[in-house]
Amino acid sequence: MTTVVWFRQDLRTSDHDSLLDACGRGAVVPVFVWHPKTEGQWPVGGAQRWWLDHSLRRLADDLESRGSRLVIRCGDPAVELTAVARACGAKRVTCSRRYEPAAMTDEDRMADALEQFGIEFGRIGSNLLFNPFEIRTQTGTAYKVFTPFWRSCLARPTPDAPRPAPEKIPAPTRWPAGMTVDALQLKPTIPWDAGFGATWTPGEAGGRARLRAFVAGPIGDYSTQRDIPGTHGTSMLAAHLHFGEIGPREAWHTVAKALRNRSSDFVANAEKFRAELGWREFAAHVLANFPRTAEDPLRIEFRKFPWNSDAAQLRAWQRGQTGYPIVDAGMRQLWHTGWMHNRVRMVVASFLVKHLRIDWMHGARWFWDTLVDADLASNTLGWQWAGGCGADAAPYFRIFNPMTQGKKFDPEGAYVRRWVPELAEVPAEYIHAPWEAPPLALSMSGVTLGENYPHPIVDHVKARAAALRALSAVNAKPGLLPDVA
C-alpha cells in the first residue's frame, strides 16, 4: 500500500513515527505543502522562511540518499495532498500531529477532504513529549503554572527512545509532480540575512551536531552560564526543535545517556536543561488548551490594560536605539543573527511592555518575523509572561531594571561591546548606563550621546512608576516593589 507522508514541523527522517509507520506498510511519498497563511497560525516570518529554505534542501537530500524524494506542492494542503494521493494511488495519508489552533483545523479539514475519496488519514506521533490533552490537574483542567505541570509530566512514563531513520524508503511506482525549493522563493529579497549563515546550520545533521556539542560542553555549567549572554552557555537548539529537525525525545535521551556516571553537579545542570524542554512543552500545552491566547491575554482582565501607541518608540526598540545598552544589544543581535539570548529576551520584552507600555502583540509579531526559532506557542507564552497577562506570570508586576540586569549578567560589558560597537570603549562601570559617565570618560570613549548613541528614550524611574499605575488600572495592587535584579 502506498502512503503519503505529510511533512510540516518534522523535517527529519529519524525518530519520525509517521514515516516509519508508512515504511512498514509499503511505498512512501514524502510531501511538503507550502501554504504560509495556514502554517501554524500567523504567516511564516522572514527569518523562518530563511531557515525553511535550507531545511527543506537538507531534507530533500536525505530522502534522496534513502532512495526517495521530497514532493513539494504549493496551495491549500487539503486540496494538494488529496491530489497527490490520487495521482500516485495512495490509500493513506499520514502526518505528525500538531497542536497550534490553525494546524489542528488543517488536520480536520484534511480528514474530511480525503474521506470523500475513500483515503484514510492518520495522525501518528508529534513534535512533543506528551499529549497536551492528557496532562491534567487533579480537577481535570489544563495547567496554567509550570512547576506542577512539569512535576506531573515527570511522574509519567519516560518518553520512548528515539528510533533510527529507515535505511531505505520504498518508492512508489509513479511519482506525482512537484516543485523545486527555489520555486517557493523563500529567501529574502534584501540582504538582511548576511549573519544567518555564519551562525546556523539548518537541517537534521546540523541539529544533531549542535546537540552533541552542547552535551559535550556547555551543559556541564548550564545552570549558571545560561544566563550570561556574552558566553556560549545555551543549547541554541530551539530552531532545530521548532522545525522538527531533531525531536524532543532525541534531546531527552541524548542528555540521559550523558548523565551516566557523572557528578551530581553535572546531573543538576542537565536536569535544568531538561526543565527547559519542559518549558517548551508547557508553552505548547497552554496554547493547545487555550487557543485564543495567540492573540488574547490568558488573564482577560488585561484586555483593558492602558497601552501606549507610540510608533517612534516602537521603531527605536526594533532598531536597537533605545539608549539602554543591554536592550539595544539584544535587538541588534536579533536582527543580525535571527536569534537573541534568552536572558536578554526577557529584558527587552519587559522594556517594551513595561517601560514603553506598548502592547505585547507588537513585540510578539516582531519576534515572529525576526527569530529563526519563532514558535507560536513559545512566543505567545514568553510575551504574555513578560506582560504579566499569561500563564505562570506571577509576579505580574515584575519590571526588569535594564541597568541592573546588564551589570549582573554582563558585568564587563562583553555582550554590549559585541553588539553595540559605538560603546566598545566605554569603561565597564558605565557600559550599562553611559549617561551616568563623566563627560570626559564619554569623550575619551568616542561617545557623544544624542549623536552616535541615543539618550534613553524614557526615564527608568518614571517609566516604572507609570507601569505600576497602569497595572493598578487592571485591578492589580502591586505596591511599590523593588525592581527585579
Check: CB of residue 225 under 8 Å from CB of residue 233.
yes
Residue 383 annotated to the active site: yes
Residue 200 annotated to the active site: no
Cis peptide before 395 (omega within 30 of 0): yes
Residue 192 annotated to the active site: no
Determine the 3-state secondary structure of 262 from DSSP. Answer: coil
Q: Which of these is catalytic: 360, 366, 385, 419?
A: 360
Give CA–CA dist 150/303, Å, rounded.
28
HSE-CB of 246 using CA atoms within 13 angstroms: 25
Residue 165 C-alpha from the chain's centroid: 25
Sign of the dihedral through C-alpha 70, 76, 81, 84: negative
Alpha helices in 290-372 (DSSP H): 311-319, 325-337, 342-350, 360-370
State the pairing for strand pair 28-34/92-97.
unpaired
CA separation, residue 181 to residues 52, 55, 74, 84, 335 (Å):
10, 10, 11, 17, 25
State the pairing for strand pair 71-74/28-34.
parallel
Residues 6+ apart with CB under 8 A from 295: 361
Residue 42 annotated to the active site: no
Residue 342 annotated to the active site: yes
Amino acid identity, residue 184? L
Residue 276 annotated to the active site: yes
Q: Which of these is catalytic: 175, 192, 307, 435?
A: 307
Give CA–CA dist 291/377, Å, rounded.
9
Q: Which of these is catalytic: 6, 383, 385, 419?
A: 383
Give CA–CA dist 436/320, Å, rounded.
20
Alpha helices in 342-473 (DSSP H): 342-350, 360-370, 376-387, 402-409, 414-419, 439-444, 460-472
Check: CB of residue 326 under 8 Å from CB of residue 340.
no
Q: Which of these is catalytic: 50, 150, 279, 419?
A: 279
Q: Which of these is catalytic: 120, 192, 271, 276?
A: 276
**Of the candidates 381, 393, 324, 372, the residue with the CA atom closest to the CA atom of residue 352:** 324
Residues carrying an active site annotation? 276, 279, 307, 342, 360, 383
